Homo-oligomer: A and B are copies of this chain.
Amino acid sequence: NVFDFSLGNPDLDPPVAVSDAIEELAKCRDKNFHGYMPNAGYPFAREAMAKKTALEQGVDVSGDCVVMSVGAAGALNALLKAVLNPGDNVVVPSPFFAEYRHYVQNYGGKLIEVPVKDDFSLDTKALEASLTEKTAAVLINSPNNPTGKVYLDEDIKALSEALVRHGKKTGRKPYLICDEPYRAITYDGIKVAPVFPVYDCAVVVTSFAKNFSLPGERIGYIAVNPRCPDKDELVAACVFTTRILGYVNAPGLMQRVVAKTWNAEADYSLYEKRRNELVSILDEAGIVHANPQGAFYLWCKVPGGDDDMAFCDYLKKHLILAAPGSGFGGRGWFRLAYCVSEKSILNSRNAFINAMKDFKA
């Protein structure tokens, strides 16, 4: 009877085509089917991801721009090790996915947090002001975890222009790393802005964890903008870091699965429905929250204070599990993951309403 909104573990089934492909490919007993392949991944998998990236970004992409990875987290680690010198920093709009801090620190880097605007959109002026000669990359996440915000084309364009200006001024153009595991999960017809057409030193890291509900299988990739001046060196460096960090290669069977099914149709309307239901409950309970345009998180304000740890502890008494915002660089906020059953959401109504009633009392 606990309402667990604490985990981002997708709860829709994988698309049928994906489950079919897993079943079908697992039958194969060809020689070396589960053997090593190049560290960058199967050439056919890289080609397929290049096609997907080309569709999403609206520019031609070839397989040699892609490195298959152990999920988006593995992709980010391989990429950050490739681009960071010790002492470098990575600028991130805040709130942000909590693990970024670790990933950057793993390679001697420092995360520089730049708060977003009140509507959770990018504060491009503040981002520009935070850039220094030590800035190896700006790391954005759209749709954002935890706010659900999708950054607009004009914000991406403004940020890109700022990065170009900074590069001209300092001689060091930061990479723009786009962490996009939630790209496909957007609502109300909103689309994630393509970055490759507006900024050459752009890199996408992503996975099939959230869109295909395969997070435990660790399959993702890195896609480098074909227009990136040091594209070949960067791809080679990512292949090398994939190897020496001990990933070695992305899981082979799953590479075959996503190569075959990357454009499988998936229906995220259930997430949208749950968002609407949870929003209506929060509104009724009087909890202020962001209006997510994608992913499956509701970013909520701690009522009458900023101690999110204490408030999440308090919510536990009402059997509601939430993630404190401080971990995401968002003190005074908390995150509800609505990748849970509709029944659980609907049943949580009284818990939220009572929790808020008692809290105010």
Contact = CB atoms under 8 A, between A and B. Distances in A.
Interface of A: 7, 9-11, 13-14, 19, 22-23, 25-27, 29, 31-32, 34-37, 70-71, 73-78, 81, 99, 102-103, 106, 213-218, 243-254
A217 B99 contact: no
A106 B74 CA distance: 15
A216 B71 contact: no
Given A251-B254, A252-B216, A26 B35 contact: no
Nearest to A341: B31
A250 B71 CA distance: 11
B29 A26 contact: no
A49 B70 CA distance: 22
Contact of A32 (B11, B31, B36, B243): B11
Given A23-B27, A29-B13, A34 B215 contact: yes
A344 to B, nearest CB: 13
A7 B103 CA distance: 31
Given A215-B248, A216-B249, 12 more contacts: A9-B35, A10-B35, A25-B26, A34-B216, A36-B215, A73-B246, A77-B246, A78-B246, A99-B246, A103-B246, A217-B252, A218-B251
A248 B214 CA distance: 13
B13 A251 contact: no
A238 to B, nearest CB: 13
Contacts of A26: 22-23, 25-27
A253 to B, nearest CB: 6
Q: What 3 A-B pairs come out closest when comparing CB atoms? A: A216-B252, A26-B26, A73-B246
A251 B215 CA distance: 9
A216 B29 contact: no
Contacts of A215: 34-36, 248
A274 to B, nearest CB: 15
A122 B246 CA distance: 26
A150 to B, nearest CB: 24
B73 A34 contact: no
A244 B246 CA distance: 14
A34 B7 contact: no
B246 A74 contact: yes
A218 to B, nearest CB: 5
Contacts of A218: 70, 218, 247-252
A24 to B, nearest CB: 8
Contacts of A244: 99, 102-103, 106
Contacts of A36: 7, 9, 215-216
Nearest to A27: B23
**Residue among A19, A31, A216 with max Cβ neighbours from chain B (10 Å):** A216
**Residue among A19, A37, A75 with max Cβ neighbours from chain B (10 Å):** A19
Contacts of A70: 70, 74, 218, 246-248
B9 A245 contact: no
14 contacts: A7-B36, A10-B35, A22-B26, A23-B26, A36-B215, A70-B70, A70-B74, A70-B247, A71-B246, A74-B247, A102-B243, A218-B218, A218-B247, A251-B254
A255 to B, nearest CB: 8
